[in-house]
Structure 1
Amino acid sequence: MVKRFVTKASDVYPIRTDDDDKIPVQTFWEANKTILDDHGDEPAYTTFTQTKADTGYCTSESNKTYSHKEFYSEAQKFAQALVACGFPRHKAVNIIGFNSVEWVSADMGSMMAFGISAGVYETSSAEACQYQAAHSEAHTVVVEGEMQLMKYQKILDDAIEGGLSDLKVIVVYNMNPEDVSARKEAFRKHGVTLYEYKQFIALDKNDTHLAEVNERKNAQVAGNCIKLVYTSGTTGVPKAVMISHDNMVFTTKTAALTMNGIGPGDRVLSYLPLSHIAAQMLDFGFPCILGGHATFARPDALKSGTLGQSLVAVQPTILMGVPRVWEKIAAKLRAMGAESTGLKLKIGSWAKGVGFQRTASREGLTAAGESKFTNPTGGLGYSLANALVFSKVRAALGLNHCRLCVTGAAPISMDTLDLFAALDIPLLEVYGQSENCGPASICTPNLGYRKGSVGRKIPGSELRIDPETQEVQFTGRHVFMGYLKNEEKSADALTEDGYLASGDQGTIDKEGFVSITGRIKELIIGAGGENVAPLPVEKAMKKAMPYLSNCVVFGERKPYMGMLVSLCVEMDPATMKPTDQLEGVSLQWTKSVGSKAATYSAAKQCEVIKREIDAGLKEGAELVISRAATPRFWIWLEEDLNIPADLLGPTLKMKRNNVYKVFHEQIEKAYAENDAAFKQKAEVTTGGN
Structure 2
Amino acid sequence: MPPTERKFSTVLEKNKGPRDQTLAPADSLWTTARDGAVRLRMEETGPGSEPPVTTIQMFQDTVQRFGNLPALAVKRDGQWQTTTYLQYHQQCRAAAKSFLKLGLERFQSVGILGCNSPEWFIADMGAIMAGGLPVGIYTTSSADGCLYVAKNCSTSILMVEDHQQLEKILQIKDQLPHLKAIVQYGHELKEKRPNLYTWKEFMRFGSDVTDSILDDVIASQKPNQCCMLVYTSGTTGGAKGVMLSHDNVTWLMKTVGKATGVREGDIGVSYLPLSHVAAQYLDLWLPMCFGGTTYFAKPDALKGSLVDTLREVRPTQFLAVPRIWEKIQENLEATDSTSSRIQRTISTWAKGIGLAASLHHVNGTRSMPWSYSLANYLVLRKVHARLGLDRCLRYQTGSAPISKDTLEYFMALNLPIMQLYGLSENNGPHTISMLSDFRLTSCGKTLTGCKTTIHMPDKDGNGEVCLWGRHLFMGYLNMEEKTMEALDEEGWLHTGDIGKFDKDGFLYITGRIKELVITAGGENIPPVPIEEALKKEVPIISNAVLIGDKRKFLSMLITLKCTVDPITLEPKDELAPDVIQFCQQLGSRATRVSDVIRSKDPVIYKAIQEGLDRVNQRAVSRAQKVQKWTILEKDFTVDGGELSPTMKLKRFTILSLYEKVIDELYKM
TM-score, L = length of structure 1? 0.89
* 1:357 equivalent in alignment to 2:346: no
Is the contact between residue 29 and residue 40 of structure 2 (CA under 8 Å) also seen in structure 1? no
Q: Secondary structure at the match of 2:603?
A: helix
Distance of 2:258 and 2:539 partners within structure 1: 36
Task: Give 2:552's match in structure 1, choosing from 555, 559, 564.
Answer: 559
**Aligned residue in 2 for 1:533:** 526
Distance of 2:560 and 2:320 partners within structure 1: 21
Shift of 1:468: 4.6
* 1:103 equivalent in alignment to 2:129: no
Shift of 1:587: 3.3
Shift of 1:345: 2.2
Shift of 1:610: 1.1
1:576-591 correspondence to structure 2 within 5 Å? 576-591=569-584
Is the contact between residue 540 and residue 579 of structure 2 (CA under 8 Å) also seen in structure 1? yes
Distance of 1:404 and 1:637 partners within structure 2: 37
Is the contact between residue 12 and residue 223 of structure 1 (CA under 8 Å) also seen in structure 2? yes
**Aligned residue in 2 for 1:199:** 201
**Aligned residue in 2 for 1:19:** 44
Amino acid at match of 1:663: Y
* 1:479 equivalent in alignment to 2:472: yes
Shift of 1:393: 0.6
* 1:174 equivalent in alignment to 2:186: yes
**Aligned residue in 2 for 1:671:** 666
- Which segments of 5 or more consecutive residues in structure 2 lack a partner in the other structure? 1-26
* 1:346 equivalent in alignment to 2:345: yes
Shift of 1:353: 1.4
Amino acid at match of 2:159: V
Q: Secondary structure at the match of 2:30?
A: coil
Amino acid at match of 2:586: V
Q: Secondary structure at the match of 1:639?
A: coil
CA gap 1:153/1:342 in 2 versus in 1, 3 angstroms:
closer
Per-residue deviation, residues 507-543 of structure 1 (Å, max 9, x unmatched): 1101111111111011111122111110111121122
Per-residue deviation, residues 80-113 of structure 1 (Å, max 9, x unmatched): 1111222211111000000011111000000010
Shift of 1:166: 0.6
Distance of 1:342 and 1:468 partners within structure 2: 51
Task: Give 1:615's match in structure 2, choosing from 605, 610, 614.
Answer: 610
**Aligned residue in 1 for 2:435:** 445
Per-residue deviation, residues 231-282 of structure 1 (Å, max 9, x unmatched): 12344432100011111111111111121x2132111110000110001101
1:508-519 correspondence to structure 2 within 5 Å? 508-519=501-512
Amino acid at match of 2:225: N
* 1:455 equivalent in alignment to 2:444: yes
Question: Which stretch of structure 1 is more off in the superposition, 294-303 or 490-499?
Answer: 490-499
Amino acid at match of 2:375: A
Is the contact between residue 95 and residue 206 of structure 2 (CA under 8 Å) also seen in structure 1? no
Shift of 1:74: 1.2
**Aligned residue in 1 for 2:254:** 253
Is the contact between residue 263 and residue 286 of structure 1 (CA under 8 Å) also seen in structure 2? no
Task: Give 1:183's match in structure 2, choosing from 192, 209, 216.
Answer: 192
* 1:112 equivalent in alignment to 2:122: no
Report sequence identity in percent: 38
Distance of 1:361 and 1:561 partners within structure 2: 41
Distance of 1:585 and 1:360 partners within structure 2: 28
Distance of 1:553 and 1:154 partners within structure 2: 37
Is the contact between residue 39 and residue 224 of structure 2 (CA under 8 Å) also seen in structure 1? yes
Shift of 1:218: 2.1
Shift of 1:346: 2.2
Is the contact between residue 133 and residue 229 of structure 2 (CA under 8 Å) also seen in structure 1? yes
1:60-459 correspondence to structure 2 within 5 Å? 62-156=79-173, 159=174, 163-177=175-189, 179=190, 182-184=191-193, 188=194, 193-205=195-207, 207-259=208-260, 261-303=261-303, 305-363=304-362, 372=364, 375=365, 377-445=367-435, 448-459=437-448
Distance of 2:245 and 2:82 partners within structure 1: 29
Q: Secondary structure at the match of 1:551?
A: strand
Q: Secondary structure at the match of 1:108?
A: helix
Shift of 1:639: 1.1
Is the contact between residue 355 and residue 423 of structure 1 (CA under 8 Å) also seen in structure 2? yes
Task: Give 1:650's match in structure 2, choosing from 630, 645, 648.
Answer: 645
Shift of 1:584: 4.7
Is the contact between residue 570 and residue 581 of structure 1 (CA under 8 Å) also seen in structure 2? yes
Shift of 1:557: 2.2
Per-residue deviation, residues 260-318 of structure 1 (Å, max 9, x unmatched): x2132111110000110001101110222121111110001112x11111110110111
Distance of 2:499 and 2:581 partners within structure 1: 35
Is the contact between residue 563 and residue 573 of structure 2 (CA under 8 Å) also seen in structure 1? yes
Moved runs in structure 1, 4+ residues, more than 4 A? none
Amino acid at match of 2:330: A
Per-residue deviation, residues 397-444 of structure 1 (Å, max 9, x unmatched): 110011111111111122111110111111111111100101121212
Shift of 1:363: 4.0
Distance of 1:71 and 1:586 partners within structure 2: 47
Per-residue deviation, residues 335-375 of structure 1 (Å, max 9, x unmatched): 122223433222222221122222223446xxxxxxx3xx5
Shift of 1:589: 2.0
Q: Secondary structure at the match of 2:301?
A: coil
CA gap 1:237/1:560 in 2 versus in 1, 3 angstroms:
closer
Amino acid at match of 2:243: M
Distance of 1:480 and 1:240 partners within structure 2: 10
Shift of 1:377: 4.1
Shift of 1:18: 1.2
Amino acid at match of 1:481: M
- Which segments of 5 or more consecutive residues in structure 1 lack a partner in the other structure? 52-60, 365-371, 676-689
Is the contact between residue 414 and residue 543 of structure 1 (CA under 8 Å) also seen in structure 2? no
Amino acid at match of 1:183: K
CA gap 1:445/1:27 in 2 versus in 1, 3 angstroms:
farther
Q: Secondary structure at the match of 2:429?
A: coil
Amino acid at match of 2:351: K
Amino acid at match of 1:336: T
Q: Secondary structure at the match of 1:45?
A: strand
Per-residue deviation, residues 626-667 of structure 1 (Å, max 9, x unmatched): 332121232112310111111000111110111122112112
Q: Secondary structure at the match of 2:205?
A: coil
Shift of 1:131: 2.0
Distance of 1:449 and 1:662 partners within structure 2: 40
Backbone CA RMSD of aligned residues: 1.7
Amino acid at match of 1:475: W
Q: Count residues with an aligned counterpart.
A: 634
Amino acid at match of 1:212: I
**Aligned residue in 1 for 2:10:** none
**Aligned residue in 1 for 2:23:** none
**Aligned residue in 1 for 2:71:** 44
CA gap 1:526/1:376 in 2 versus in 1, 3 angstroms:
farther
Question: Which stretch of structure 1 is more off in the superposition, 341-350 or 78-87?
Answer: 341-350
Is the contact between residue 471 and residue 505 of structure 1 (CA under 8 Å) also seen in structure 2? yes
**Aligned residue in 1 for 2:16:** none
